[in-house]
Amino acid sequence: MATDWLSESEQHSWRNFIMTVHDLMAALEADLAPHGLTMGDYEVLVWLSEAEQNRMRMCDLAGALQLSPSGLTRRLDGMVKNGWVERASCESDRRVMWAHLTGSGLAKMKAVAPDHVASVRRHVLDPLGPEGVAQLGEIFGNIGARLHDAQPA
């Protein structure tokens, strides 16, 4: 089977993406570091803050974050130690463990959110302008839909 090589334009676009994505993530991480958070920590705070009663089943949170159960445990360990998240057993089903955002965790997220939003604006949205932001949303919507469709049922 012959390889369908990338055109010059496709190669240019692909290389720009690959060479930029790591730098972008590093910049976003660096902007959270003064708050004592990683992007992964911030993502946990956001998911839990948007969940009903600020809690999620551990298995659901792991799925949302695309982590294994042990990966989620490691991610939460420091957050539990800092008092931002607590683990709790489900009273009605002993098989279920909850990850619950504490009041301290919600306060932390609210304190960090303005700086994170400013970071996203500075590193992603402002360079694109309104038309580019709309295009970016459409582009990643299309890629996400294709990836979702390709997953086995």
Confidence category of residue 151, pLDDT binned at 50, 70, 90: confident
| CATH code for position 145 | 1.10.10.10
pLDDT in tens, 90-110: 888 878 899 999 999 999 999
pLDDT in tens, 15-34: 999 999 999 999 999 999 99
- Residue found by looking up tokens 């294709």 in the block: 146
Residue 7 falls inside a structural domain: no
Query: Based on the structure, what is the number of domains in the chain?
Result: 1
Tokens of 140: 């990643």
pLDDT in tens, 30-48: 999 999 999 999 999 999 9
At 115, the amino acid letter reads D
At 88, the amino acid letter reads A
How far apart are alpha carbons 59 and 73 in whole angstroms?
10
How far apart are alpha carbons 132 and 124 in whole angstroms?
10
Residue 11 falls inside a structural domain: no
Global pTM reads 0.88
State which residues form the domain around 85: 27-150
The DSSP 8-state label assigned to residue 51 in this structure reads S
